Chains A and B, each alone.
Chain A
Amino acid sequence: MNLMKYYYKRIAASLLLTASLIGQVKLAVNTIPTRVDVHLDGINLGSSPIRNERVTPGVHKFEIKKKGYAPLTYDLLVNPAQAVQLDFFLNPVYKVRFKTEEKGLIFELNGEHRWDVQLVRLELEAGNHFLRVFKIGEIIDEQTIRVDEPKKFNYYLKKPLSEE
Chain B
Amino acid sequence: MLKPFFNRIALIAGSTVILGLISGCSAFRGPLYPDIIYNNRQPLISVTYEYGEIELILPIKYDAAVPDNILFKVFTQGDTLHPVISILQEAPKEFLAYLPQGVLDIQNSTNLIKIFPQDKNFDPVSVRFKGIHFGRILLPPKTIRMGQLIVSGNTFLNKNDSTLANVDISLQSYDNIIHETQSNGSGYFQLAIPGEYRYAKHLRIVAGENLIFKPYTKKLDFSQVRKLKMDIGLGPSDEMKEPLYMTNKNNVHFREGPDIGSETLFLLEEGEIISVTRVTPGEYHGFIEVDLDDEKSVQLEGWIERVDLRLVNLHNVYKRTAEYYFIKE
* Interface residue ranges, A against B (CB under 8 Å): 22-23, 26, 70, 72, 74, 76, 79-91, 93, 97-99, 109-110, 113, 115, 117-129
Contact = CB atoms under 8 A, between A and B. Distances in A.
B37 A120 contact: no
B136 to A, nearest CB: 14
Contact of B39 (A26, A98, A129): A129
A123 B30 contact: no
Given A76-B47, A84-B47, A84-B50, A123 B33 contact: yes
Nearest to A126: B41
B102 interface: yes
Given A113-B37, A128-B39, A87 B46 contact: yes
B50 A82 contact: yes
A115 B35 CA distance: 12
Contact of A99 (B30, B101, B133, B134): B30
Interface of B: 29-33, 35-39, 41, 43-52, 101-102, 133-134
Given A82-B50, A120-B33, 18 more contacts: A23-B133, A72-B43, A74-B45, A81-B49, A81-B102, A82-B52, A84-B50, A85-B47, A86-B46, A87-B45, A88-B45, A90-B43, A93-B36, A97-B30, A121-B31, A121-B32, A122-B33, A123-B37
Contact of A124 (B37, B43, B44, B134): B37
A113 B43 contact: no
Contacts of A120: 30-33
Dominant secondary structure of chain A at its interface with chain B = strand
A34 B43 CA distance: 16
A89 B43 contact: yes
A23 B32 CA distance: 51
B184 to A, nearest CB: 51
A74 B43 contact: yes
Contacts of A98: 30
Contacts of B38: 70, 110, 125
A115 B33 CA distance: 8
Nearest to B102: A80
Contacts, number: 108
A17 B311 CA distance: 84
Nearest to B38: A125
Contacts of A89: 43-46
Contact of A119 (B29, B39, B50): B29
With most chain A CB atoms within 10 A of its CB, the pick from B37, B48, B133, B134 is B37
B133 to A, nearest CB: 6
B52 A84 contact: no
Nearest to A81: B49
Given A81-B101, A88-B45, A123 B39 contact: no
Contacts of A126: 41
Contacts of A125: 36-39, 41
Q: What 7 pairs between A and B have smallest CB-CB spacing? A: A119-B30, A82-B52, A89-B44, A87-B46, A83-B50, A127-B41, A81-B49
A85 B45 contact: no
Interface centre among A72, A97, A98, A122 (most CB of B within 10 A): A122
Contact of A84 (B31, B39, B49, B101): B49
A33 B157 CA distance: 95
Contact of B29 (A74, A79, A90, A97): A97
A121 B44 contact: no
29 contacts: A22-B133, A23-B133, A70-B36, A70-B43, A74-B45, A79-B49, A80-B101, A81-B50, A81-B51, A81-B101, A82-B133, A82-B134, A85-B50, A86-B45, A87-B45, A89-B46, A90-B43, A91-B43, A99-B30, A120-B30, A120-B32, A120-B33, A121-B29, A121-B30, A121-B33, A122-B37, A125-B37, A127-B41, A129-B39
Nearest to A77: B47
A26 B51 CA distance: 11
A22 to B, nearest CB: 7
A74 B49 CA distance: 16
B39 A82 contact: no
Contact of A88 (B41, B43, B52): B43
Contacts of A118: 30
A76 B50 CA distance: 15
A80 B43 contact: no
Nearest to A83: B50
